[in-house]
Structure 1
């Protein structure tokens, strides 16, 4: 089967490939998976053993494509495929959200947190693993529902030339036009605010001689007039009405004003009006080769139980459920003789965290919650960046997970560091724990790096998910440069440095950008997918999400 080289390696990494001409599409770029005419697929598809099926049998399938997941990779694929005339079904295990469905604050766990077994069906998920705590999104629109909206391009050559994938393509050249499409489709704009946290970061940057490296972020937000609703300003009136950003800081709880450019307001909005069918509360449990195409088994329903089993068939399947959706599914199917037993042994390997460190600074009396979620970025060195992050006033549920920031390689060293901090600053410690409106007084610092550390994601015999560091150096919960920057900013604002309790007690890093697990390779022994994002040994099965990202972007 011919490679779809221009497809998804760009879509998964730029998260926004957009083929076609302006007369037909809302983007520009080369033909790829969605560039093949519909009759090519319906005229005969290779089966899992390299044979083919007749046009008649292919036409009997319910769908040309099934997309599993509705985040960035799935949304891009969905729009481009329906624009070509394909019948496309998108399956999403989370809910569909409108602006009024989001929680006002993080204390409304039912509307904010994803824990369906507890009756919580919000868009924010926390996954606790042995070596990693991952923050991710669930729902129609995936991570775009709760991300900070930042659309920074990687600048470090270490991302584009990482040994893990540099031999497969000239990535900087290949991705460049698709970053441009990303900015257009997601309504990228420079943040107009200069908030108190930005001034604090600027002061530290000046002291380090890096003031020029501190710049406003580029974000997918419609600024306009705050609170004023206007007709679609992005797609010649074809998109939804938009309301100007109110700078409330609520981007990562869920935008209740319709200002943030989440995927349901661009790619998915346009795709549904071109024929894409989205079914929410539909969790995929299996993907099996059938009659030259694939059968996708699903459990449907809002409640954890009972849930309706159902199966769909398609000529091709795109897996786009993110690292925590796609990788566990493939790990299970690799051990299922009727599933996908010929998957690469690399499934679950090289899971990365973007080498992130999250650190908080609690500063009573200081205003931290005004503005969009992330208003500026500091390039701290050749391979690292720092961003000030905020939650809206009243959203203080994460305070129950805070502990003194205490770097150290062992538990004993971390506990000793925490004790020293408490004893040296007893009043600051007390104020940090008793402060009113924690979110309003707390600045979160997000440090990111292209440093190449990684984990292996695997399933225990019990079926639960875990990690190990057998494939390389594990990500760290604290990095000296990040700690030094956090301490300097804390001194500037008169604040108290804190971390997640998992970092202080267990040495477990927290990341909002978990990547990898289905990395690229030039054959099955080196990667789960090829440079075209097609799964080795399974023609017509693709992975187009963060699990395909094969290096840390550092932004």
Structure 2
């Protein structure tokens, strides 16, 4: 567990109801909440940062999947869409998904910004307006081109692109003093990954912000068009909400930064006004398909920077079809065992070839086409979020094309 700070409270230790107040309450300590906390604390505001997960530090990150998935991820890394078709790896810890992501740090592409302008009428001049803010984030989080040669898993992606004449790029990573271990998804044991856990949150706490971990925000209390307070409860050791002890927090301003699934779920529980009927709607993932290939030589995809090469060869096809980005994931036994095809002896035989396995993934670019219906967030009987994400014909066709592209690359 993270070293105790006078600015941090572990809600699981509360034995009676609590009340707090602040200028600004931020629900969620990930990329959005962590950066907001630092900026607002620097501005002299009293900031209270709330996180459902636990506060761990590098001494806790022992590079073991069995510990990391249960302690650092939503639903022990088992979160899925309503029909169980899509698995969702999402952080639930101080720092949010920035604590467990694979360090790939990419600016919002110019075509995406242009699409937002033309389709939604957003009033900014695209990349020119946002470039200074991208640069500030890159400087703050030490985002830079990875100078180390890729591990064999990434090198196969690079090699295939070169042989086929496809575009590829060396990835920018948010690291400082990275030892090239390869266990980024289990928390960085040397604080090299510049997640919110080691960057903006410690800075915010130093400047007077407060952090409460293991606290599940259940409802915003609003009147008119203004939120006045919220109610939260403790979580148990499995991070399930416990209703017996409540926490009430008042503030002048509230920021909901609980992610694309958690944020609409909180607003739905709070029954906030929704005149457009869009609350929880139009939630977009990048549905991902996997292609595994067994090589004669060792790949050892568990070692080295998880992602250092990607290809945008097929991201913007320009023919009305779904685009996709080609990357590779880190290869760890539990993660791969739950994603690979087959069962029983066939699955066991494939796992025996684990060190020779190369895996490429295709991230489908959803949300840029009339058939991109996206997903919708609702609440289950326990008032916990559910994401319904139908896979349209548009996505199915994109997946088929992506699988063919990945197979062609791996055979190259």
> TM-score with structure 2 length normalisation?
0.80
Tell me the distance in 2 between the aligned counterparts of 1:260 and 1:332: 34
Q: Deviations over 1:62-119 (max 9, x none)?
A: 2111000001111111111111111111110001111121242213367555467xxx
Question: Residue 385 of structure 1 corresponds to which residue in structure 2?
Answer: 325
SS state at 2:32 partner? helix
Which structure is larger by alpha-carbon Rg, 1 or 2?
1
Question: Residue 455 of structure 1 corresponds to which residue in structure 2?
Answer: 374
CA contact (8 A) 1:112 1:253 kept: no
Question: Residue 327 of structure 1 corresponds to which residue in structure 2?
Answer: 264
Cα distance, 1:262 vs structure 2: 1.1
CA contact (8 A) 2:150 2:305 kept: no
Question: Residue 174 of structure 1 corresponds to which residue in structure 2?
Answer: 129
Pairing 1:487–2:407 present: yes
Pairing 1:376–2:294 present: no
Pairing 1:88–2:51 present: no
Specify whether residues 484 and 342 from structure 1 end up closer, same or farther in structure 2 by C-alpha distance, changes over 3 A only: closer
Q: CA RMSD in A?
A: 3.1
Question: Residue 228 of structure 2 corresponds to which residue in structure 1?
Answer: 294
SS state at 2:270 partner? helix
SS state at 1:147 partner? coil
Tell me the distance in 1 between the aligned counterparts of 2:24 and 2:104: 30
Specify whether residues 290 and 441 from structure 1 end up closer, same or farther in structure 2 by C-alpha distance, changes over 3 A only: farther
| Candidates 66, 89, 94, aligned match of 1:140 | 94
Tell me the distance in 2 between the aligned counterparts of 1:127 and 1:89: 30
Cα distance, 1:403 vs structure 2: 4.0
SS state at 2:221 partner? strand
Matches within 5 A, 1:88-167: 88-108=47-67, 112=71, 114=73, 124=77, 126-130=79-83, 132-162=86-116, 163-167=118-122
Cα distance, 1:170 vs structure 2: 2.8
Tell me the distance in 2 between the aligned counterparts of 1:441 and 1:129: 34
Once the two structures are overlaid, the 10-residue window that deviates more, 70-79 or 197-206, is: 197-206
CA contact (8 A) 2:282 2:374 kept: yes
Q: Deviations over 1:125-144 (max 9, x none)?
A: 63343253221111110111
| Candidates 336, 339, 347, aligned match of 1:402 | 339
Tell me the distance in 2 between the aligned counterparts of 1:474 and 1:325: 27
Specify whether residues 172 and 358 from structure 1 end up closer, same or farther in structure 2 by C-alpha distance, changes over 3 A only: farther
Specify whether residues 69 and 474 from structure 1 end up closer, same or farther in structure 2 by C-alpha distance, changes over 3 A only: farther
Tell me the distance in 1 between the aligned counterparts of 2:405 and 2:394: 22
Tell me the distance in 2 between the aligned counterparts of 1:313 and 1:207: 60
Specify whether residues 283 and 442 from structure 1 end up closer, same or farther in structure 2 by C-alpha distance, changes over 3 A only: farther
Tell me the distance in 2 between the aligned counterparts of 1:468 and 1:370: 33
SS state at 2:180 partner? coil
In structure 1, runs of 5+ residues without a counterpart are: 1-60, 223-243, 335-339, 405-417, 420-425, 493-555
Cα distance, 1:280 vs structure 2: 0.3
Cα distance, 1:312 vs structure 2: 0.5
Tell me the distance in 2 between the aligned counterparts of 1:461 and 1:402: 26
Tell me the distance in 1 between the aligned counterparts of 2:74 and 2:134: 34
Cα distance, 1:160 vs structure 2: 3.1
Question: Residue 11 of structure 2 corresponds to which residue in structure 1?
Answer: none
Specify whether residues 288 and 476 from structure 1 end up closer, same or farther in structure 2 by C-alpha distance, changes over 3 A only: farther
Question: Residue 545 of structure 1 corresponds to which residue in structure 2?
Answer: none
Specify whether residues 333 and 356 from structure 1 end up closer, same or farther in structure 2 by C-alpha distance, changes over 3 A only: same
Question: Residue 445 of structure 1 corresponds to which residue in structure 2?
Answer: 360
Cα distance, 1:318 vs structure 2: 0.2
Matches within 5 A, 1:115-514: 124=77, 126-130=79-83, 132-162=86-116, 163-191=118-146, 192-210=148-166, 213-222=167-176, 244-289=177-222, 293-303=227-237, 304=240, 305=242, 307-334=244-271, 340-342=272-274, 344-363=276-295, 365-367=297-299, 368-381=301-314, 383=316, 384-391=324-331, 395-404=332-341, 431-435=349-353, 438=354, 440-451=355-366, 452=368, 453-459=372-378, 462=381, 463=383, 465-467=386-388, 469=390, 475-476=395-396, 479-492=399-412
In structure 2, runs of 5+ residues without a counterpart are: 1-19, 317-323
Tell me the distance in 2 between the aligned counterparts of 1:485 and 1:443: 15
Specify whether residues 113 and 363 from structure 1 end up closer, same or farther in structure 2 by C-alpha distance, changes over 3 A only: farther
Tell me the distance in 2 between the aligned counterparts of 1:98 and 1:125: 23
CA contact (8 A) 2:72 2:91 kept: no
Aligned length, in residue pairs: 372
SS state at 1:77 partner? helix
Specify whether residues 364 and 102 from structure 1 end up closer, same or farther in structure 2 by C-alpha distance, changes over 3 A only: farther
CA contact (8 A) 2:81 2:389 kept: no
